[in-house]
């Protein structure tokens, strides 16, 4: 399909793991388009649907798979 806006971040080096701060940066990139819509148009659109889906999956994984939350600690939820 056609994208209204697209940002691609190239890795600086080959990596096998990602830090919590790097994942938080990824969330900021993913949600930047929605934030821009709200600032510029004062009315969000459906254009950020895929970004929100990916950000939700990343945030969920940070908590349920990687234990990257201060409140719950290093616990893996689910299978």
Mean pLDDT of 14-20: 84
Q: Which pLDDT belongs to residue 71?
A: 85
Tokens for 2, please give them: 């056609």
Query: Residue for token digits 């819509």?
Result: 37
> How many C-alpha atoms does 40 have within 13 Å on its Cβ side?
7
pLDDT digits (tens, 9 = 90+) for 32-78: 989 998 999 898 888 889 999 999 999 999 999 999 988 877 877 77
Q: What is the pTM of this model?
A: 0.74
Q: Which pLDDT belongs to residue 77?
A: 77
């Amino acid at each position: 399909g056609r994208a209204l806006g697209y940002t691609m971040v190239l890795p600086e080096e080959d990596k096998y793991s990602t830090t919590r701060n790097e994942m938080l940066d990824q969330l900021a990139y993913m949600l930047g388009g929605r934030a821009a819509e709200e600032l510029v148009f004062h009315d969000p659109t459906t254009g950020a649907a895929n970004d929100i889906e990916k950000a939700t999956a990343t945030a969920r994984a940070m908590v349920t798979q990687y234990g990257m939350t201060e409140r719950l600690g290093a616990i893996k939820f689910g299978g």
